Amino acid sequence: MNDDSPEVSEDQTAITPEVLDAYRGAHYSFKLACQTVEFRIGQTCAPLAALIAQHRSPSAFCITAWNPLGQEVSREQNDAAQDILLATLHNEAPTFLPASGYDPNGTWAEPGFLVFGLTRAQAVALGRRFRQNALVWSEPDGVPELLLLR
């Protein structure tokens, strides 16, 4: 599969049902002024919708470089990959903010970025470049969805 191909459907994904459930059950967040805004897959997030509109973006998505293909790696490897993602976003993304995704039970947490101004195809390509299983994508309505990448 190349970077130009569309995201993968749920019936074609290589991601296990358990991992998909973890992504769907995760909480995602970003900082807005002095508050942390949390959002979840499939649930409207008005502050996210407002931020997409404020940035005059057709969408937003969350991405991390941590734990490529869902495989846990060392903190040093994760930090190095995240630094490369940050440099890439400085070159390719009009606007982005720090964000995170985490298991509400405290099993895992990963830092990432909420990115504005890129197309769905660009987001998919970026996610694949950083060997991610999925991205969290939102249209202007502020309802996040999973984009499966493999």
The residues, ordered by sequence, that sit 6+ positions from 14 with a Cβ below 8 Å of its Cβ are 8, 150
Q: What average pLDDT does range 141-148 have in this prediction?
A: 97
Could you tell me which of 105, 24, 107, 109 has the C-alpha nearest to residue 66?
A: 109
Name the residue ranges covered by the structural domains of the chain.
Answer: 17-148
Residues listed for the chain: 150
- Residue 7 pLDDT > 90, yes or no? no
Lowest mean pLDDT among 9-13, 19-23, 52-56, 146-150: 9-13
**What is the per-residue pLDDT for 4?**
55
Is the pTM value of this prediction over 0.85?
yes
Query: How do residues 104-144 score in pLDDT, each as one tens digit?
Result: 999 999 999 999 999 999 999 999 999 999 999 999 999 99
d(CA 32, CA 39): 13
**What is the per-residue pLDDT for 32?**
83
d(CA 132, CA 106): 21
The enclosing H or E element of 14 equals none
Neighbours of 144 (CB within 10 A): 23
Q: Are 57 and 38 in contact (CB under 8 A)?
A: no
Query: How do residues 29-79 score in pLDDT, each as one tens digit?
Result: 998 888 899 999 999 999 999 999 999 999 999 999 999 999 999 999 999
Q: Dump the DSSP string for 16-48.
A: -HHHHHHHHH-EEEEEETTEEEEE-TTS--HHH
